[in-house]
Amino acid sequence: MDDCIFCRIIGGKLPSYKIYEDEKTYAFLDIAGDFEGHTLVVPKAHCTDLRDCGAEDLAAVTAAAQKIARHYTEKCGYDGVNLFNCSGRAAQQSVFHFHVHVIPRRTDDGLSVCPTGEDKGYDLAAIRDKLALD
């Protein structure tokens, strides 16, 4: 897909700082440079987001992310990783090719990427009734 920046990176039409590649996935540093080691793991096959990614490609991305996370913590001196995905514009997805972010972490690095845990008073039973899969 020529209009997709990640497809162009995978196809070698744009440069990247490759971290890992296998038959189904490609992982590279995010050029934003916002977090040390911020890595994007993408399927080589184009899909827009989590909702339309095939099960085989989704499994491959997950396995690659796990391999990278282990490498970062076992060989590169990081203490942990955050793993996340943004699917859809409302979820702050900025590139519409499915990708998983791997953020290497160090203890006390001051980075906050998780929900605050602040109780907002939601009715959890009502939300479950609305969202539960039958």
Q: Which residues are catalytic?
A: 99
- Going by DSSP bridges, is the β-strand pair 25-29/39-43 parallel, antiparallel, or unpaired? antiparallel
Q: Where are the beta strands (DSSP E) in the chain?
A: 18-21, 25-29, 39-43, 80-84, 100-105
Q: Which two tokens stand for residue 73?
A: 């913590």
